[in-house]
Structure 1
Amino acid sequence: MRDLTYPPVVLTAKTLFRLRGWRFSITGTEHVPRAGGAVLACNHIGYADFVFDGLAAQPAKRLVRFMAKKEAFDHPVGGPILRSMHHIPVDRSAGADSLDAAVDYCRRGEIVGIFPEATISRSYEIKDVKSGAVRIAAQAGVPLIPVVVFGTQRVTTKGHGLALPWRLPIAISVGPPMHPDGSDPDAQTAQMRDAMVRLLDETLQRYPDDPAGQWWAPARIGGTAPTPQEAQRLDTEERAARAARKAERDG
């Protein structure tokens, strides 16, 4: 694939990070293959996660093609940029098409990034995950690599606008590859989630800022973020409100 846009975007992002003095702690990058296809299964805690997840592949000199909701590609400015970077639109009404596209990318030697939680976790814990990452890796015959970021929610996330704090610490952890064969997608998806939970625990342990009383920290480590149960309730209420607004418009 020709990449005229992607490298300058990466360079611009890295320049911003340096100007703000952001402190990155990245482990496990040796697990990202230097050649051939792979799936990165990433947690989702902020709107800019894909920017930071891509850094996990930089030591291997690889670019990641992220799966993102179709609406992002409809944006008059962002859409052309996303397409030029060869990211993959996901139409939730025709999910099989995006899965097939991701499998094709992997078979052609590309790294595909996917957020198996589908939506942002308000608790900053690992939510329930969908089986798409496992199915893509199994069909393409490529490794599935769990990735966890923490700190990215402090840039922008649900309920919090854009912020560029000075010397922000961001932790990125890459786990050992898994090799799903598709024989039991549900069980292998559960194994993937377990790996992501363990990786998050390791990431939280090395995160340098004190979480006590902080909105960006999970409740179980002393933060004020919603618990997973509270976050699920908020998600349910948000979906119901969105459905009601759509029904009112359509009516």
Structure 2
Amino acid sequence: MAAAAFFDLDRTLVRKASGPALSRAMRESGVVSNKLPGESLLYWWMNAFGETLGSIALARQAVLVAAGKPDGAFDDAARAAADVLVDQVGPFARILIDQHHAAGRKVVMATTTPYHLVKPLADALGFDDVIATRYAVGDNGKYNGRHDGRFVWSWGKLGAVKDWAREHDIDLKESFAYSDSVFDIPLLSAVGNPGAVNPDPRLLMVAIAKRWPILSFDAPPGTLTFPVVDIEARRLALMLTRPETFPYVRFEINGLDNIPADGPVILAGNHRSYFDMATMAVVVGRTGRGASFLAKREIFDVPVLGGVMRLLGGVRVDRDHRDPNAADPLEEAAVALAGGDLVGVMPQGTIPRGLDFFSDQLEGYPGTARLAAMTKAPVIPFALSGTEVVWPRAASMPNVLSFLNPPKIVVNIGTPVELKYRSEKADTRRIMDAISAQLPKDAKNLKPTSIDEVASTYPGGKIPQADLPAIEQAIADNTAKGRRKRST
């Protein structure tokens, strides 16, 4: 048997109730003349807390509004409302619809809203079918004030979905369903893959108890959006990550306008310190955008921290492929970009150590170039310097006591890298050269002149014995060059 994916409409596919757009379109088309009493308050409550028994009672009685009007009288209003509502569909809902289609599943809108009002929207979104409340039409070709079949709500919605599944030979245990409403628990419980999308308070508690996925179609899968208030955790974190949060450092950020205000962006830069992530949070926070970011597996393996990173938009990169069941990080990042997200990446993969730390000829992995080729998202290069003073690799904690003389962190952001998409190796070189070009002058041509300088680039400040001879020779050469320069 085949599988299907069933999507609720209000506060699920569209961010808020569809009623205001439908009501406005019906008034403007002349098919109805006045607002219903208390309509504005009802929709406000629904947008904030989800559907109520009162709103459903009103929806049941709406069939009487259509009574006596000819079949097709609402078509113009339905098409006009669809033009408005299609822009309110979350970007990741569209991606999920495409993914279900790619997996061979039928995608079905399952909603209480009358069929004749939502069919144009379902068509515009590429749905295969619509399960919705239908109004009966009499022999005279006019709506007769009665329902045609089930009122598609709660257990009635489950019954309608079961009828449709039997007709189309669909296995519900292999199927998916998405809804915001506690009243859709019967349907969510009937499928093998339920999803609570922007759940109302009661559904939220049930979803937590049953360990159902809690989703938002405005944010990439896996990131946390606080239900009811509908605020992304990552955006909240960025709002709180401001320069004032770090009084022990000074930030100089140049080229911030090079980051587009919206649309897919790959932000690629160098890696100097454990403090780089906090620095880039300050940068992205100033753009007002949310962001996903790629980080190495070891960070996600840390208890508690790894889970928090995931909820804040982290994408786990397992370069050693230790987990054969792990998701492809580039595929995850590509989904985020397809939804218009900003994705941060440091192509070096880790903080360079030893003599490589001081080189401005940066080397990187090809994943960033591959992601750019997959998505055609612009790659914006950035370069950091000074973060290593705040938190050198040798230290277990950052220096948070430098209030009187805080070190300066410089972030330079460039314009999009011109890529050819013909060779990952060549495009990786273009990306790394663009990052190098953004390095401040005092971060170029660095020459270590002491063992302590180099030791600060290693975990725990310990230089491996195998690296020591080359380091000592380089320091001796740099010191000799320094003497000759001073003598001239």
TM range (shorter): 0.7 to 0.9
Distance 1:169 1:98, change over 3 A: same
Superposed displacement of residue 118, structure 1: 1.1
Amino acid of the structure 2 residue aligned with 1:198: A
Classify the secondary structure of the residue corresponding to 1:159. Answer: coil
Is 2:294 the counterpart of 1:67? yes
Spell out, residue by residue over 1:186-244, the C-alpha distance to the aligned partner (whole angstroms, 9 max, x if none): 11111111111111144748xxxxxxxxxxx93279997449xx9xxx68959xxxxxx
Structure 2 residue 245 is the aligned partner of structure 1 residue 16? yes
SS state at 1:130 partner: coil
Of all paired residues, the percent bearing the same amino acid is 25
* Maintained 8 Å contact 2:380/2:416: yes
Question: Which of 396, 413, 425 is the matching residue for 1:161?
Answer: 396
1:46, CA displacement in angstroms?
0.5
1:247 aligns to what? Answer: none
Q: Is the 8 A contact 1:129 1:189 kept in 2?
A: yes
Q: Which residue of 2 aligns with 1:189?
A: 428
Q: Distance in 2 between matches of 1:140 and 1:31?
A: 19
How far residue 101 of structure 1 moved from its aligned partner, in angstroms, is: 1.1
Q: Does residue 413 of structure 2 align to residue 174 of structure 1?
A: yes
Matches for 1:123-134 after TM superposition, within 5 Å: 123-126=357-360, 127-134=362-369
Q: Which amino acid aligns with 2:365?
A: K
In structure 2, how many angstroms separate the alpha carbons of the residues matched to 1:41 and 1:151?
Answer: 17
Q: Which letter maps to 1:194?
A: D
* 1:212 alignment partner in structure 2: none
Please tell me the residue identity of whatever aligns with 1:143. Answer: P
1:112 aligns with 2:343: yes
1:1-251 alignment runs, 5 A limit: 1=219, 2=225, 3-14=231-242, 15-17=244-246, 19-20=247-248, 22-94=249-321, 97-122=328-353, 123-126=357-360, 127-162=362-397, 163-164=399-400, 165-166=402-403, 167-202=406-441, 204=443, 218-219=446-447, 225-226=453-454
Change (3 A) 1:222 1:33: farther
Question: Could you list the runs of 5+ residues in structure 1 that have no partner in the other structure?
Answer: 206-216, 239-251
- Out of 54-63 and 42-51, give the one that drifted further: 54-63
Q: Pick closer, same or farther for the CA change 1:223–1:75 going to 2, 3 Å.
A: closer
Deviations 1:31-66 (A, max 9, x none): 111111111111001012122123333332112211
State the distance in 1 between where 2:382 and 2:271 align. Answer: 10
> What is the rounded CA distance, in whole Å, between the counterparts of 2:449 and 2:262 in structure 1?
38
Distance in 2 (alpha carbons) for counterparts of 1:11 and 1:108: 21
In 2, the alpha carbon distance for the partners of 1:131 and 1:75 equals 26
Looking at both structures, which has the greater relative contact order when contacts are Cα pairs under 8 Å and sequence separation is at least 6?
1
Query: Which has the higher mean CA deviation after the structures are superposed, 73-82 or 168-177?
Result: 73-82
DSSP 3-state at the match of 2:316? strand
- How far the C-alpha of 1:7 sits from its partner, in A, is 3.6
Contact 2:295 2:316 in 1 (8 A): yes
* Conserved 8 A contact 2:358-2:448: no
The number of residues matched between the two structures is: 220
Shift, 1:154, TM fit: 1.6
Once the two structures are overlaid, the 10-residue window that deviates more, 79-88 or 1-10, is 1-10
**CA distance in structure 1 between the partners assigned to 2:389 and 2:260 by the alignment:** 29
Code of the residue aligned with 1:187 in structure 2: it is A
* Structure 1 vs Structure 2 CA RMSD: 3.0
Shift of 1:180: 2.6
What is the rounded CA distance, in whole Å, between the counterparts of 2:307 and 2:443 in structure 1? 36
Match of 2:64 in 1: none
What secondary structure does 1:93 align onto?
A: coil
Matched residue type, 2:233: T
The answer to whether the Cα contact below 8 Å between 2:384 and 2:410 also exists between their aligned partners in 1 is yes
Greater Cα shift, 48-57 or 2-11: 2-11
* Larger Cα-atom Rg: 2
Equivalent residues of 1:138, 1:179 under 8 A apart: no
Q: 1:5·1:81 contact (CA, 8 Å) conserved in 2?
A: no
Whole-Å separation in 2 of the counterparts to 1:153 and 1:46: 5
Q: Is the 8 A contact 1:173 1:199 kept in 2?
A: yes
TM-score (norm 1): 0.76
Are residues 197 and 221 of structure 1, via their aligned partners in 2, closer, same or farther at CA, if it must alter by over 3 Å? farther
Match of 2:162 in 1: none
Task: Write the distance in 2 (CA, Å) between the matches of 1:77 and 1:237.
Answer: 35
Q: Which amino acid aligns with 1:132?
A: G
Judge which range, 41-50 or 173-182, deviates more.
173-182
Q: Helix, strand or coil: the match of 2:426?
A: helix
CA contact (8 A) 2:412 2:440 kept: no
* Farther off after superposition, 194-203 or 114-123: 194-203
- In structure 2, distance between residues paired with 1:193 and 1:55: 23
Give distance in 1, aligned partners of 2:379 and 2:340.
Answer: 13
- Whether the 8 Å CA contact 2:291–2:343 is kept in 1: the answer is yes
Instruction: Flag the 1:83–1:225 CA change in 2: closer, same or farther, 3 A.
Output: same
